[in-house]
Structure formats: C-alpha cells, structure tokens
Amino acid sequence: MRVYGVTGWKNAGKTGLMERLVAEITGRGLTVSTVKHAHHSFDVDHPGRDSWRHRQAGASEVILASGYRVAQMTELRGAPEPSLAELLARLSPVDLVLIEGYKREGHRKVEAFRAEAGTALIAPGDPTIRAVASDTALTLDRPVFDLDDTTAIADFILSEVGL
C-alpha cells in the first residue's frame, strides 16, 4: 500500500492540508484513506449511546454499523498503542493512505509549516521530510511549496509514490 505523510508541529496547518489533499486526490479519481495520530485522549463515541454503554461495560471492541458507515472502536485497556504498521494493516486496499502526524516514523512526508506558530522546522534534521508546505518563503535543500498550493503538493506526493 502506498503511504505518504503530512507532519508538523501543532497549529502548522496539517489538518487543513490533509483535508485539501484528500479532496484533490479523490477528485482525480483515486481512492484515499487516512490515519491520524492524536497525542491526547479522544473519544468518537457519546456518553449514554448504546455503543458507549457497551464499552463502559467492558467490551474490548465495539463495531457500530449502519447503511452509511461502519466504525470500529477498540479499547486498549492498558495494552500498548498499536504501531503505525499494525494500523495500516487494518485498512482496506486503496490507492493512497495519507498519514497525519507520526513525525518519528520512517515513511516519506511533507512538513506543514506556519511562521506564526513560532516553532522550528523539522525538515533540516529529518531526511524523511521530502518537501515543506509553508506560508512563508524558505530556502531549503528540498522543495518548498506554498501551504495553500494544494494542486502542486498533490502532484508532488503522487509523483513520489508513483501514481
């Protein structure tokens, strides 16, 4: 499965870039799935709902299914967080998986960078970052795209993965 990442520090524009890339690439007729890493506790369920009650009762996994979507929730209950490779193995085949976050993983990435966030670039010390999407002009040893130039960034990613 072809994978490519979007990484960067908090408030760098990763999620907006991911959203635009998914729309751009699927608009070209390719299938895309995403994986997003969260550094905090999160919940996709709602207290009081049947599936929430199943998890609260102790279920290890709950699958919620309808004619519109299927969601599978897995409670780790002290087990280690699954690796990126394990998560990718759970996905159905698609043309491209875009990964948000996972800075330390070895897949190729584009770094989202916003000067106003006040953080340092990751790219200079990380060869897995193949390009930077920035809201300011930068001089680097790899391509730099305007953060809002979704078409050029998508072209770059698709070229990198051979699509």
DSSP codes of every residue in 118-147: ----SGGG-TTEEEEEESS----SS-EEET
Neighbours of 104 (CB within 10 A): 10
If you average pLDDT over residues 125-152, what whole number do you get? 97
Domains of the chain, each with CATH number or no CATH: 2-40+81-161 (3.40.50.300)
Per-residue model confidence as pLDDT tens digits over 18-56: 999 999 999 999 999 999 998 766 777 788 888 889 988
pLDDT of residue 163: 98
| Residues found in the chain | 163
Q: Are the C-beta atoms of residues 111 and 7 closer than 8 Å to each other?
A: yes
Would the pTM count as exceeding 0.95?
A: no
